[in-house]
Structure 1
């Protein structure tokens, strides 16, 4: 199997003329060929994803890990923060590491699903490395790699990788299919976001044909809720405020709330999408003080509402997509005099 995979990767760069180019990759053939060549020539590969990794970051990273490992390469998959527990079902989950690597030890660095290199906590190291690849689908990516494949039409990085594997005739096995379908499924909001196209559903069908179980992925990522998750969702829903001027549906969670219910940041996954379903609202915002003095903001909207939430996120130092974005700020969420407020970290309560 290993020799077969290595032979296919070696031959991929000469088979482009014979291979039908998926529409997503049309016009990017030379970039894909360059990526394939760099992967082929590298023996020690570092894969890195963004802080607070989601299903697409983890699924894509593990899919590439499996593909390269089958070629006999030494691969490290680094994430700055621990992966959500609900993704433990993914093959290779135990090979993820939060131990910061020595980037100079690797022949090649591949950064996935990361708009800005600082979100991988490796910005200086990656910029100093002579051989780096960035693969992403966010429109505000800073393209800080030696080679950059940033496709904003893609619903997920997992979609880009799936198309690349198809294009270069790399076998997608059961483990890879499970990881890739998880990335696509979670980043399309369980196929409910506007990014769910006929091409996405075709890819999902193909991955299911290779052994990925959609019902199992859906159960593990969306349907299975532990008691702490249900309780923290209750707190979110009980605090929803709607601003009639902006049409914003807003809710907040404090660090104390998380501690009280034994919940984590990952237990809140998906709840902002529920806020976004409120009628007569333009967008939803969930503010979470996930640790003292650190606030994560999650923004969602829908096509017919006409709000580009990435512009809001960008003003606050974040980014993302027009309909799904995020940011982080320093500060505290407090409730005083019957009102919720966000205070800058340095500001003291009177």
Structure 2
């Protein structure tokens, strides 16, 4: 058994009240991880709460247990379980002075805790949690299986990402056997606010610019348009991947103004193109994976784009 899994189980057994947390604007992997662990801890007789100050994306509200997620918590816990957050500064709003356990498939950057399972060989944090539960012989019922499969499905881009391995697909099969409804998950995950999404994507696609010599394509959505179409960052999910499909592109950036001069950046890269967007994101105060990363910053969008181009030209981030 993984020694960190064993240590984590001992810490859980010794705790009574456990708080689960992840990054802001949670995706399927973050929510699926927290919910699966909440259900599992409760089966062990523990009090387990999930803290998430951000709104839950509409297409993830089908997940069992989302109605119990808390937007504020009191300091009454004796263990904090951080999942899928990548960097301690992204562990949303949590300042409790208690022991921390981390499960994460992002690169090791600044994750917290004496007990850490941080491994980029897993497709998702939900896959790590599946391994943790099975190695500790903890029951995976239909609810837990649904949460885990949702996280794996979303973080592998519907099993199309290069992080999808034979082991990943074997786990998917096991989760299906435990009752996870794949067809329902696929349908509800892809259920978007079509009207809003089509309008904000149209506006974004009208602003595409390409640096062909660098293999770089990007677009910017300003705050005025985000407000005009009542759009959120979740409505832009998938846009950066779409931009990568433009011929001659190695990597893309979608830059969104979520408040005046408050920017959110989402990088995507194609495999085998010599691009590591996690390094670019880290240089801008963020992080992520080699092919998928992001950052938050303040400033004018044109200044951020120029900084990205300068990093590319001077930092050896891209093999051109």
Q: TM-score, normalised by structure 2?
A: 0.91
Q: Which residue of 1 aligns with 2:258?
A: 290
Q: Which residue of 2 aligns with 1:234?
A: 202
Shift of 1:291: 2.1
Residue of structure 2 aligned with 1:72, choices 35, 45, 58 = 45
Shift of 1:69: 1.6
1:77 alignment partner, SS class: strand
Aligned ranges 1:134-283 → 2 under 5 Å: 134-283=102-251
Partners of 1:327 and 1:214 lie apart in 2 by 31
When the two structures are aligned, how many residues end up with a matched partner? 305
Aligned ranges 1:104-123 → 2 under 5 Å: 105-122=76-93
Partners of 2:304 and 2:122 lie apart in 1 by 37
Q: Which residue of 2 aligns with 1:301?
A: 269
For residues 50-93 of structure 1, the C-alpha deviation after alignment (integer angstroms, 9 at most, x for no partner) is 11211100110011111112222111101232221210000001
For residues 7-39 of structure 1, the C-alpha deviation after alignment (integer angstroms, 9 at most, x for no partner) is xxxxxxxxx5xxxxxxxxxxxx21110001111
User: What are the ranges of 5 or more consecutive residues in structure 2 without an aligned counterpart?
Assistant: 306-320
Q: Which residue of 2 aligns with 1:94?
A: 67
Q: Is contact 2:63–2:146 with CA below 8 Å preserved after alignment?
A: yes
1:299 alignment partner, SS class: strand
Shift of 1:180: 0.4
Partners of 2:33 and 2:291 lie apart in 1 by 21
* Structure with larger Rg: 1
For residues 212-236 of structure 1, the C-alpha deviation after alignment (integer angstroms, 9 at most, x for no partner) is 1112111222254431112111122
Q: Is contact 2:59–2:191 with CA below 8 Å preserved after alignment?
A: no
1:33 aligns with 2:12: no
Partners of 1:176 and 1:226 lie apart in 2 by 29
**For the aligned residues, what is the CA RMSD?**
1.7
Shift of 1:173: 0.8
Q: Is contact 1:56–1:187 with CA below 8 Å preserved after alignment?
A: yes
Q: Which residue of 2 aligns with 1:132?
A: 100
Q: 1:222 to 1:305 in 2, by over 3 A?
A: farther
